[in-house]
Structure 1
């Protein structure tokens, strides 16, 4: 395994107070805070930074307003970093500080590469009893009052030239295609053996460029629900969810993010390897979501939005 996943991301957003509250409610740990930068961490040490929109250490943003400014990918060792240095030396914005490489991808996003600084962790997760296998005995599935994301699992961008972007990530960086919407989108994983996608590139008819969303992996479906209910109780707005993606099998819940784009909790995505053959799909709402709750669940009633609150009765008691 060469590129192991996302090590760090940086948003550009001016409203630090709102971003600080949001990422705390999202379940990230505050690492440091200054007038110029907020730093948060997931459970495994993946960093989430927020800098001002006019920060000088970054290329021009890919779109107006708050958005993602950098994605740093973690690699397995120094030899991989040296090989990437040779492969990327001709790329726009190339720099090599010794412990980190950087360049700009064809859509203008700043990319970094470093020996991964994320830590290996072991955490308890909910076990699923199926008809064939019943590993959970004399125990309930977990209930989470909020989420604590494990890592940044994937990013999704709108791009103006899908083929150019796929060529860059596959031929320059060694990403593997997982599935496609021909001419419209491609799911890429950074290693043949891994989760369904670390990067999704989407070309819209108007060929706009920008951030769609950043996704945070959580333990299991129960934490998707518990996290989403907590974020709703905190007053943040659901974009869509909870729901399930049929292409990756993952359960999801999307919220609007004051730092830019959308933000997602997800769990239980497909795991692929070298034997996987990419599939092709026609875009449609049911391809995106097998099922989904429009507007989300109310964090207090734990039911769909705009329904009655708790009244001390079973549903069967109501006429």
Structure 2
């Protein structure tokens, strides 16, 4: 079975104008506008739909307020849809229309599968020079004024029963990457791929809903450039920049008016069928190798609320 990743996500929101402004600043391309929804695209054609929360054709919400209402996963062939159908038919809320088949997952979120609509794109990241391997010669490293996300890379959900949720997605063909036993499950669509396309986290209070949606960018420098631009636009950091030790990815999280958080990330681990899932104990050090609390100021390039008085090395000395 070939599940190619996320093709489309849909938010149901209370303030579509504000959310539209956010995703414009985030670096998505606005491609369509109707009376009830605004449609954006990433570089490879992955769609982000921002719909009025009371639009009649939206699936039910799994939490109050603005939030994620649907995730559409792309597959490689009609044969893949045929193999998925018997599993989906057993689940709650089975649907089959307009080229989709889907259901409601164990968390109450609408999921759909379709022939992937994403397109191949030529995107080049900036290579790094390590001690033993020099890949950038006679050229400077990249500096980005803003980010242009390549695709929606993964979603993270709060769930009430992580073991049940993992079993549901495993039956659809998802593969376990790593776990917080009894608390969290990192899963990828296929044996070969990035560290995770889906992460489900069970909190002690039983909270259900959206944690964040993550957008893939080309390299660590675009994480920084994108984050600094979003800060200059006036949007607030939740945490970052930083680095996850479990997936090795660099991240920067922002509060999102469409619900939950959104993340720029790059440089996650690439796994194969040889990978054996590891178990981790939830802790601050498992979540982040390092992270900047409050983010960086897009104008000063320093941590927000840092004490005044510091100078850049390039500033003129006062003798």
Once residues 242 and 16 of structure 2 are traced to their aligned partners in structure 1, the CA distance between those partners, rounded to angstroms, is 30
- Which residue in the other structure is 1:158 paired with? 158
Once residues 233 and 279 of structure 2 are traced to their aligned partners in structure 1, the CA distance between those partners, rounded to angstroms, is 39
Q: Is 2:213 the counterpart of 1:229?
A: no
Q: State the shift of 1:130 in Å.
A: 0.7
- Which residue in the other structure is 2:185 paired with? 186
- Which residue in the other structure is 1:268 paired with? 267
Note the alpha carbon deviations across 1:54-81, whole angstroms, 9 max, x for none: 1222332111000000000000111101
Question: Would you say the 8 A contact 1:301–1:310 is kept in 2?
Answer: no
Query: What stretches of structure 1 move > 6 A for 4+ residues in a row?
Result: 309-312
Closer, same or farther in 2 for the Cα pair 1:214/1:318, shift >3 Å? farther
Once residues 28 and 40 of structure 2 are traced to their aligned partners in structure 1, the CA distance between those partners, rounded to angstroms, is 6
Closer, same or farther in 2 for the Cα pair 1:316/1:306, shift >3 Å? farther
Closer, same or farther in 2 for the Cα pair 1:22/1:191, shift >3 Å? same
Once residues 310 and 228 of structure 1 are traced to their aligned partners in structure 2, the CA distance between those partners, rounded to angstroms, is 22
- Which residue in the other structure is 1:212 paired with? 211
Q: State the shift of 1:306 in Å.
A: 2.3
Once residues 318 and 205 of structure 1 are traced to their aligned partners in structure 2, the CA distance between those partners, rounded to angstroms, is 56
- Which residue in the other structure is 1:57 paired with? 57
Closer, same or farther in 2 for the Cα pair 1:310/1:232, shift >3 Å? farther
Question: Secondary structure of the residue that 2:87 maps to in structure 1?
Answer: helix
Closer, same or farther in 2 for the Cα pair 1:131/1:66, shift >3 Å? same
Q: State the shift of 1:160 in Å.
A: 0.5
Closer, same or farther in 2 for the Cα pair 1:131/1:156, shift >3 Å? same
Q: State the shift of 1:86 in Å.
A: 2.2
CA RMSD between the two structures: 1.7
Question: Secondary structure of the residue that 2:262 maps to in structure 1?
Answer: strand
- Which residue in the other structure is 1:17 paired with? 17
Question: Would you say the 8 A contact 2:11–2:68 is kept in 1?
Answer: yes
Q: State the shift of 1:102 in Å.
A: 1.8
Q: State the shift of 1:125 in Å.
A: 1.2
TM-score, normalised by the number of residues in structure 2: 0.96
Closer, same or farther in 2 for the Cα pair 1:39/1:315, shift >3 Å? same
Closer, same or farther in 2 for the Cα pair 1:266/1:63, shift >3 Å? same
Counterparts of 1:99-114 in structure 2, within 5 Å, are 99-114=99-114
- Which residue in the other structure is 2:74 paired with? 74
Once residues 280 and 216 of structure 2 are traced to their aligned partners in structure 1, the CA distance between those partners, rounded to angstroms, is 24
Question: Secondary structure of the residue that 2:179 maps to in structure 1?
Answer: strand
Question: Secondary structure of the residue that 1:12 maps to in structure 2?
Answer: strand
Once residues 247 and 159 of structure 2 are traced to their aligned partners in structure 1, the CA distance between those partners, rounded to angstroms, is 21
Note the alpha carbon deviations across 1:57-115, whole angstroms, 9 max, x for none: 23321110000000000001111011111221121111112611121001110001001
Once residues 99 and 193 of structure 2 are traced to their aligned partners in structure 1, the CA distance between those partners, rounded to angstroms, is 25
Q: Structure 2: which 5+ runs fail to align? A: none
Question: Would you say the 8 A contact 2:13–2:51 is kept in 1?
Answer: yes
- Which residue in the other structure is 1:96 paired with? 96
Q: Structure 1: which 5+ runs fail to align? A: none
Name which of structure 1's ranges 150-159 and 122-131 shifts more when overlaid on structure 2: 122-131
- Which residue in the other structure is 1:198 paired with? 197
Aligned residues: 318
Once residues 88 and 318 of structure 2 are traced to their aligned partners in structure 1, the CA distance between those partners, rounded to angstroms, is 65
